[in-house]
Amino acid sequence: MTVSDDAWWELLHELDDPDHMEFPAIYDHTEVRARFNKVVAKLDTAFGCRCHVDRNIQDASFHGDIGVPATHTAGGERITIRISNFGNLAVYSPENIRSYTDAEKRQLLPAEDLDRIEDTLTGLDYRVVPEDLLNTRYNGRSDLANYYPSDQPPTWFTRFFDYL
């Protein structure tokens, strides 16, 4: 299912709580961790390996990263998946997050890898956000921009998928 840019913007603005930057007001770390661990287990199975996992995230708007080793992907590229603390949002990319545009990702990753990632995430009710949208300058309700130099403003990626 394709979601329009307008629908994404509506969702991102809805999730943008100016009083809660690292995680939403109603946040259950145990529940979020359990869901994150389900993603890891399903990716381990889908790719027939043990994924690299970073669960030790602090001072950030995301919960953790999962890395599928290049030796277990159809395209021979490491794939990184990042899970946000907000709205069951997720992003993924060959190699490192923010390395490629969405169009480049679709060219670099074989359909087999795309399907395994997408099926895992959507099967657990995560929403895969287009990174091209997230790389847009942040214009939300919080004072996030006040903490960044004017020549390096935060993006929507910063708001939901980065260290703060």
The DSSP-derived string for 75-138 is TS--EEEEEESSTTEEEEEESSTTSS-HHHHHHHS-HHHHHHHHHHHHHTT-EE--HHHHTSBP
Question: What is the identity of the amino acid at 4?
Answer: S
Query: pLDDT exceeding 70 applies to what percent of the chain?
Result: 99
Return the pLDDT at 144.
95
The pLDDT tens digits of the residues spanning 87-116 come to 999 999 999 999 999 999 999 999 999 999
Domain of 89 in residue numbering reads as 5-161
**Cα dihedral value 140, 141, 142, 144, nearest 10:** 30
Separation of alpha carbons 39 and 132, rounded Å: 23
